[in-house]
Every structure is written in structure tokens, then in C-alpha cells.
Amino acid sequence: MRWSLKELYESFEDDAFVSDMKLLDEKIEQFGEWVNHSVKEGNDPAETILTFIRYSEEITATLSKLSQFASLTSATDARNESALDYLNKLNVKSTALTQPSVVFQTYLKGLDSLEQIIESSLQLKEYAFYLEQIKLRSKYMLTEKEEVAISKLTTTGSTAWSNLQNKLSSTLMVDVLLDGEKKSLPLPAVRNLAYSEDKSKRLAGYQAEMDAYKKIEESSAAALNGIKGEVVTLCELRGFESPLEETLIKSRLDKETLDAMLSAMREYLPAFQKYLRRKAELLGHRNGLPFYDMFAPMGEVNITYTYPEAMDFIIAQFRTFSDRLADFTQHAYDNAWLDVEPREGKRGGAFCSNLHGIKESRILSNFSGSFSNMTTLAHELGHAYHGANLVDESILNSRYPMPIAETASIFCETIVVNAALNNASKEEQLAILESSISDSTQVIVDIYSRFLFESALFEERKNSVVSVAKLKELMLKAQKEAYGDGLDPDFLHPYMWINKPHYYSAGLNFYNFPYAFGLLFSKGLYAQYLKDGEAFVAKYDTLLNATGKELIADVAMRMNVDVHDPDFFRSSLALIEKDIEKFIELSK
Ligand SMILES: [Zn+2]
């Protein structure tokens, strides 16, 4: 099953695509002229800001639509030259926005009564949060010349490195020995062997993956050093205390919240390690769980799905939450919003892209029928539903920060898992519960190891280029600290830094703790849903709708949640601990 992109454009030769490319050029030029000639002291500030907003809306809408078409095309066809070519072109075009944006930000910074100006205009009030965020970020802005130079240089720096890494990993063919026969498979297919029922296949997949990474370890390390080096340099220049501080500001999350969450997570690591040791025992290991058995399916019933079965199941479970969510999902299914199975040249993993301009979404997955593949679909559909709650907002108020980005997705995953659990036999319960705990272990324990790794990587990168050997060492150290005696120290995964694409995006540093926040925030909300039922459902959509225009602590407060209090996170973690106890009980 492949997705349909013609709702965006028919092709790169489509008249609509060509004319939008032209329109974008014109708009960018007009915007530049307007800013450089008309934005100055003495103007009517409300009118000036409003004109800026209109330009921003038009340019953002056109640029997003064009880039989304190119990046979605590239996601299923890494060798598509036109897609890469247009992505580069669009990237270059968007750098032309830097100079006028800096001029405008400087103007905004100089207004001492921004709040009053916003208050005075009904139209501006709608954009209050957006404008305040621009003013906040202007604190870290450099001079106009520097900003322009930086934005041009990043296209040949971090962006180029990131494209290289993407191409290397998505076209990597892996030699793997299966049933005595040597096969050459794409990396995502080999990684999917980790979910195989057959232990020898899981081990063969792991060994093949480790060997394959050797082919791209030096080039990946060069890309990673290039990207992280650029981030370190820019953070220093801009006056951020650290890349983490920059991420927190962008995330609209304060340090107090992050610390509250991390301390609760550390307290609960032993519970997860207990689960991993139990799983190891059940699989016949004595020294903790080897990495290659981390995703081994457990329980006598091995639940698998065809794609239509998975979608029918998801839609039925979503209906227990609300008709709106179920109907929305049915619509996505009927209208080819999903690109489902793995194939060569298609990127690994799964993601959802919300296409605000056409009020739709597209979902990419590498579905091969496992329970976890099914819950991933539910997860991505949650992202799409989040997008659907924002389509009537201005595009400028529709963008939400990373930590809240995983709320709706994990919430939808929880609906599916819990509903499945209720309908299941005892054997199935064990399998489902285990799969859910396994996913949570990724989001809490593995994410914690990634947070440790990335923190250490930034520290090292400040002083020098980090070698392949050092990267592997940092990764192993982080895994040992997070997993403790839960994993077999002789079978860890020293190459996770090649495997996770987030490390290779200069704009997505620390794309790890947001997952943990998303899970724990969602679990907390889900508990509230079970308590409040119907009343919760309407409030939930309002919460999603506010995510583009409020700080996270304020969004949480809409549900009376205080994210500065570790107890909130502890109560969500306690729910997972309860599942772990139940799993251990069932497995006896
Ligand atoms: Zn997600």
C-alpha cells in the first residue's frame, strides 16, 4: 500500500508545482523589499506587525507545501534526484528569508510596548504567543550579516552532512545469513528481524547489522562531528549556556520540568531492569538480556496482522474513545494517507507529516505485521489526529514543540494497547503486556541512555573531533548506566548513534527526552481519561488545539497537571511498574 501525494502535486513537472515555485520567489522578494523599505520607527506598529504576519503566513504555507512534496517523495525513494534537487533549492530559497526576518526581529526588539500593541488589536491578539516567542528568541540573535552568513553556511554544513547520512543509511544493503542462505536486504528489513519469533534470525540480524555499520562508520562519524560541531559553535556565538538550553527554549519547556522528569525516571530504572532480567531468564539467558533479544516476542500467542486487519483493529479501538477519532482514522485509511510496507530505497522507521495546507497528513511506516508494527501505526495516526485539531488555526499557530509532539501519538498507542489487553486471553495478555512494557522501556530507559550519550557527545565535541572508537565507547557507557544489569554487557549496541537519524539533525538536538515527556504526560492524561470519561474527550481536543500557542506548563495546566512536580511523573511511572509486576506474575 502506497500513499497518494497528488493532493499536494502530481509531479515536479506539474504546472501547480512550477507556479508555486515561482510564487514563492515572488513572495520572498516582495517580503524582502517591504521589510527593507517600510519597516522602520515611526510606522504604525500594529499595522507593520500585521503585514509581517500576512507575509509569514503566505510564505510559510507555500514553502511547507513544496518542501513536504519533495521530502515525502524522497522518503519513499532515496534515489529520486529531482526530490533531492528541489529540497536543496528550497533550502537555499529559505535562506533568503533570514535577512528580512532579522531586520524585523530587531524592529520588534526595539518596541518597548509590544504587549500593549498586541492588546490594542483584535487581529494581533490571535498571534500574541507567536510574537512573544519571536521577541524571546531575538535575545540570542546575532547581527544581520552574521545571521545571513550562518544560514547560508548551514546549507553546505549541517544540512549537507545530514543529507549524506540519510543517503548512506537508506541505501545501505546488508548481507545476512538466513536459513543457510546469504541474502542482501535493506537495513530496515534486517532491523525488523529483531522482532522475529526465531532466535537464530534475531541473532543473525543483529550480527549482520553490526557488520554492515562498519561500512559506513567513518562517514557517519564525519557527518555527526560536522553537525554537532556546528551546533556547539553556534550555541556559543549566540550566548546559549549549552545546546540543551537552546533545546529547552525551543521546546517551550523549562529546566525545572526536565529535572523533575529525569529524577523520577532515575528512581524507576530498577523496575525496568527487573523486567529485562525476567525476560532474559524466560529466553534462557543468565547474564541479563542480550541486545538482540530485546524485541523478541514473548508469550505463546504470537499476534500478527495484515495491514487491513491492523487498521480495522485500530479503528475499532479508537471508537471506544470517540467517533471523531475513529472516523478520522477511517478517512485516512480510505484516502491513501499511508505508505505501509518496507522496500528498497524507502527510509526506515515511521513518521507522520501533517500537511496543514491541504488539511491532511501522510504516514510512513515499515509494517511487517507484528503487534509493535500495529501500535506504531496507531502512534502515527495519533500524530495525524493532533494535526487535524490544528487545521483551522493559522499555520503560524499550528506548530507545536517536541515534548508535546508525542502526546497525542502515545495517547493513541495507549488506547490500542489497553483495549487489546482487555479483550485478550491470558497468553495473549502476556504477549501484549510484554510488548507494551518493551516499548516503554525504549521510551524511558533507552531514551535516558540517548540523553546521556548526547550530553557526553556535546561535551567531547567542544574540545575535539570525536573518533569512531570514542563514539562507540560513549554509547556503551550510556547504555550500561541506563540499563544497569538488565542487559548483557557483552551484547550491547555500540552503533546506536548511526542508527538514530535524530542525531543528524542540527535543528533537533536532544530529540530524546521529549519522547519520555510525551509518554509520561500521555500516561498521566490517560489515567485522567479513565476517571473522567466523556468529559475528558472534549477537553482533550481543546488541549491539542492549544499546543501551537502556549508554553507546555500552561498546556498541562488546562488539565490541572503541574509538570514541575516530580510526583506527576512518578505516578505515570508507577503505572508502568504495575504492568511490569503483572507481567512477572503472568510469566510464572
Ligand atoms: Zn512519534
Distance 70 CA to ligand 1 centre (A): 21
Residue-level pLDDT at 402: 86
Distance 114 CA to ligand 1 centre (A): 36
The Cα–Cα gap between 234 and 134 comes to: 18
Distance 380 CA to ligand 1 centre (A): 6
Give phi and psi for 88, each to the nearest 5.
-65, -45
Distance 517 CA to ligand 1 centre (A): 12
Residue-level pLDDT at 301: 53
Distance 188 CA to ligand 1 centre (A): 18
Q: At what angle do helices 447-463 and 243-251 cross, to 10 degrees?
A: 130
Distance 13 CA to ligand 1 centre (A): 32
Task: Report yes or no: 144 and 170 within 8 Å, Cβ to Cβ.
Answer: no
Distance 127 CA to ligand 1 centre (A): 27
| Three-class DSSP category at 282 | helix
Cβ-Cβ contacts under 8 Å for 388 (sequence gap 6 or more):
328, 359, 361
Give phi and psi for 122, each to the nearest 5.
-60, -40
Q: In what order do the strands lie in the sheet with 351-355?
A: 338-339, 360-364, 351-355
Residue-level pLDDT at 418: 87
Nearest to 305, CA basis, from 319, 316, 294? 316
Distance 402 CA to ligand 1 centre (A): 10
The grid coordinates of residue 350 equal 515511521
Distance 351 CA to ligand 1 centre (A): 7
Cβ-Cβ contacts under 8 Å for 578 (sequence gap 6 or more):
none
Distance 305 CA to ligand 1 centre (A): 21
Distance 352 CA to ligand 1 centre (A): 8
Task: Report yes or no: 317 and 415 within 8 Å, Cβ to Cβ.
Answer: yes
Distance 85 CA to ligand 1 centre (A): 27
Residue-level pLDDT at 110: 87
Per-residue model confidence as pLDDT tens for the chain (588 residues): 999 999 999 999 999 999 999 999 999 999 999 999 998 877 899 999 999 999 999 999 999 999 999 999 999 998 999 999 999 999 989 988 988 998 999 899 888 889 999 999 999 999 999 999 999 988 899 988 998 899 889 989 999 999 999 999 989 999 999 988 999 999 989 999 998 989 999 999 999 999 999 999 999 999 999 999 999 999 999 999 999 999 999 999 999 999 999 999 999 999 999 999 999 999 999 999 999 999 998 875 567 899 999 999 999 999 999 999 999 999 999 999 999 999 999 998 899 999 999 999 999 999 999 888 999 999 999 999 999 999 999 999 999 998 999 899 999 999 998 888 887 888 888 888 898 899 899 999 999 999 999 999 999 999 999 999 999 999 999 999 999 999 999 999 999 999 999 999 999 999 999 999 999 999 989 988 988 888 899 899 999 999 999 999 999 998 889 999 999 999 999 999 999 999 999 998
Distance 409 CA to ligand 1 centre (A): 6
Residue-level pLDDT at 300: 59
Give phi and psi for 196, each to the nearest 5.
-65, 150
Written in H, E and C, the secondary structure of 530-585 is HHHCHHHHHHHHHHHHHCCCCCHHHHHHCCCCCCCCHHHHHHHHHHHHHHHHHHHH
Cβ-Cβ contacts under 8 Å for 420 (sequence gap 6 or more):
313, 317, 428, 432
| Three-class DSSP category at 77 | coil
Cβ-Cβ contacts under 8 Å for 535 (sequence gap 6 or more):
none
Distance 122 CA to ligand 1 centre (A): 35
Alpha helices in 239-254 (DSSP H): 243-251
Give phi and psi for 181, each to the nearest 5.
-115, 135
What domains lie within the chain, and their CATH numbers? 15-148 (1.20.140.70), 307-429+514-565 (1.10.1370.40)
Task: Report yes or no: 396 and 130 within 8 Å, Cβ to Cβ.
Answer: yes
Strands 351-355 and 360-364: antiparallel
Distance 379 CA to ligand 1 centre (A): 6
Distance 442 CA to ligand 1 centre (A): 13
Instruction: Output the furthest CA–CA distance in the chain (Å, rounded).
Output: 79
pTM above 0.75, yes or no: yes
Strand partners for 370: 304
Distance 563 CA to ligand 1 centre (A): 20
